[in-house]
Structure 1
Amino acid sequence: MNNYKLITISRYLSLFMIFIDYFININLSSSYSFFLILIFIINNQIRYFNLYDKKIFIHISLIIEFILIYILSNYIDKINVFFFIPMILDITNSKKIYNKYIYLIIAIIFSLIINIDYSLLSAFEYSFFLLVISILCIYIHNESLSKLNSQKIYNQLRISEDKLKKANSDLEIYIDSLEELTILKERNRISREIHDSVGHALSTTIIQLSAIEKLVSYDKDLKELVCELREFVKMSLKEVRNAINTLKPKEYEKYENLFKIKELINNFSKMTNIDVKMTVSKNTWKLSSIQLTSLYRVIQEALSNCIKHSNATKIQIFLNFNNDNLVINIKDNGTTCKNIIKGNGLKSITERMNELNGLARFNSSNDGFLIHASFPKNTRGEFIE
């Protein structure tokens, strides 16, 4: 049973007992006392259901309740503890009452004063019983707050864990993307180096051997030897070219344009000391010159805005190549703004996406600023394979 249900049951049980005690001890000839009981209950219920978050009205309601109990003490032989239990429950569980202990002490002393004329022993018993109830209510309330705080900490840990998992997943994707781009770039460099050095040397050797073959035409054996050597070098050149074609990655053409953006990011990070990570999906397709220029300028503008406005220390760029479109997400951890005013930079991003039949949206939250843009693969009638 939660704290709210326990308080509600205790309240209604106390009010029920007040009615029972009223019909047992009341002077039945007085209808005025019954009217006071109704006002007491109405005031009690209004405070509980409608005034729980209104500090001033709660204090007024409690004062009215003290006055009603004092007036009722003139009609009822003795005011039992049930008149004070709803009040004590409200005092101990209200977030708007900061001087709770003062109210509890007043309630206990007030119970002692109004019942002392009836019986000194009963008055002390009632007051002691109210003291025990007050301590118990404070203990239950503190335990409830402790449980709520523990639940809040647990929820925060769960959120932190989810964010950590997402960050770890993004980091793994980034590492895979970076590793793939690095491998493709290195393979392309090696194939180019082999082509420019070994391939060029073998081509030159073939030309020189052809010339030597003509010069030694008078010597049949030497000419035959040179001819065999020339054919051997030709086969070697063919094998080198096959190795180059195998080594040179076909996927490199898809990533080739993105290296310009990678170079932009590297230069930006060196100049600003801002950690920028770009993640590219594996199912890429080659960008047209129009698409590449727009993508380059959008990222360039986003990086520039981070310096001017957000004071970010980290920027994440996600390029997701889908079957039909390219989705661009650029997120930073900079300062937030409640009202996004589109300056020249954001307008430029929007215009470039519109030119590609795409869209651009901007969002600012506690986590930073997000640019979400996309454009179709088939742009302005130009289908890229």
Structure 2
Amino acid sequence: MEKSKELLLIRYISFIILIAQIFIEEGNTGILSIIFVLLFILNNNLRIFHFSNDKLIIISMIIEIIISPIACLNFGGNILFYLIGLIIDAFTLKYKKIKYIFIVLISLIALSIRSNKSIEEGFVNLVIMFIFIILLNYISRLYSTKNEAQKLYDKLKMSEEKLIEVNSQLEEYLTSIEELTVLKERNRISREIHDSVGHSLSTAMIQLSAMESIANKEGSMLRNMARNLREFINESFQDVKKAVSELKSDDYDNYRGIIRIQDLCKNFEKMSGVEVNITLSKGNWTLSTKQSSHLYRITQEVLSNALRHGKSSKVKVIINFIENEVVISFKDNGVGTDIIKESGFGLKNIRERVEEIGGTIDMNSEVGAGFFIKLVIPKESES
């Protein structure tokens, strides 16, 4: 508020009028009056543009309150123009009590008989000061409302940006879940085809081979028919094997570890009744066998602790692949604790497993705020 163009203009106009009164009306051209005016203006500018600490601003204002009446008596000029800057700065103070104390002191100085040539002049100054205070109070409220509106706008803007970011992440997670679901389904279908159709065709070929051998010994005409049928079934069997191979994507093997963790969470939800929400992003690199095994066991331990110790009804699991590491976080809504003890086997085992695969672990908890665990596992260097 104190740096607004309008108030700065009022402040500097009061300086010009004060200088004119001291040097032109009163004819004070001595070195002391010049030094005082320069120091007076310097003190005001320091308070406006350089002092950010409230204590320095208050000290500067106190000095000016003490000096202004003395300067008015010795160098002349209307006391009102000495006090304009003080009044403006008083409304910028954060502490209301100190602000009102300054306003009262400034008003008393403006009304002081010694600071004015007559009672009428003091009264006029007080009226002008009172009107000026009302205007400043109104301006202060406007600025306060403007600042609150700006803060609200900034919050809304941040919320919008966060919402866009979360929506983007959600879309990415949904895509990842969809892709992994497709991989699982393709693998299931390929396995079913292999186990049913493939085995049936294989059995049929074995039986036809046996029939062909018997027919060959007996000199039966069925030998050629059995051989032709066996070759036809063999070709069909090779076609089925090729189709199964194409249907089963290599990506399934790459993400088998993550899919196992996903299945673990779903099975735990079914068996325990604890709601487990798992969110994951499929990255462009995969976990090693060791990493998958350790993370599977860690997830088992975390879910078990959430139920057994935390008495949780909900657990949120987020798996996020980034360029060189995977970040996994677990957050439950359990009873929580203010003191996390790793003396027990569970948490100690989790930390040891994380360290074995070169990762870091962060644990947080508060009473009534559940338990939070964050794991950061680095990408293994390619040999």
User: Shared fold by TM > 0.5?
Assistant: yes
Q: Give a deviation string over 1:278-313, Cα, whole Å, max 9, x none.
A: 2221x334623x33223334555666787878x886
TM-score, normalising length from structure 2? 0.73
Aligned-partner Cα distance in 1 for 2:21–2:219: 138
**Which position in structure 2 is the counterpart of 1:184?**
183
Q: Within 5 Å, which residues of 2 pair with 1:13-162?
A: 13-24=13-24, 50=51, 52-54=53-55, 58=58, 65-66=64-65, 68-71=67-70, 74-75=73-74, 79-98=78-97, 100=99, 103-104=102-103, 107-108=106-107, 110-114=109-113, 118-119=117-118, 121-162=120-161
Aligned residue for 1:84, secondary structure, equals helix
Aligned residue for 1:253, secondary structure, equals helix
**1:152 Cα offset (Å):** 2.0
**Which position in structure 2 is the counterpart of 1:194?**
193
**1:275 Cα offset (Å):** 2.7
**1:252 Cα offset (Å):** 1.6
Compared with structure 1, are the counterparts of its residues 155 and 258 closer, same or farther at alpha carbon in structure 2 (3 Å cutoff)? same
The answer for unaligned runs of 5 or more in structure 1 is: none
**Which position in structure 1 is the counterpart of 2:285?**
284
Q: Within 5 Å, which residues of 2 pair with 1:118-267?
A: 118-119=117-118, 121-215=120-214, 218=218, 220-267=220-267
**Which position in structure 1 is the counterpart of 2:381?**
377
The answer for unaligned runs of 5 or more in structure 2 is: 366-371
Aligned-partner Cα distance in 2 for 1:249–1:233: 25
AA aligned to 1:83 is Y
Aligned-partner Cα distance in 1 for 2:130–2:30: 32
Aligned-partner Cα distance in 1 for 2:355–2:122: 82
**1:18 Cα offset (Å):** 3.1
Q: Within 5 Å, which residues of 2 pair with 1:331-346?
A: 332=331, 343=342
AA aligned to 2:157 is R
Aligned residue for 2:280, secondary structure, equals strand
Alignment coverage as a number of residue pairs: 365
**1:332 Cα offset (Å):** 4.9
CA RMSD of aligned residues (A): 4.5
Aligned-partner Cα distance in 2 for 1:160–1:225: 75
- Identity across matched positions, percent: 35
TM-score, normalising length from structure 1? 0.73
Aligned residue for 1:94, secondary structure, equals coil
**Which position in structure 2 is the counterpart of 1:328?**
327
**1:76 Cα offset (Å):** 6.1
Aligned-partner Cα distance in 2 for 1:34–1:174: 73
Aligned-partner Cα distance in 1 for 2:22–2:252: 91
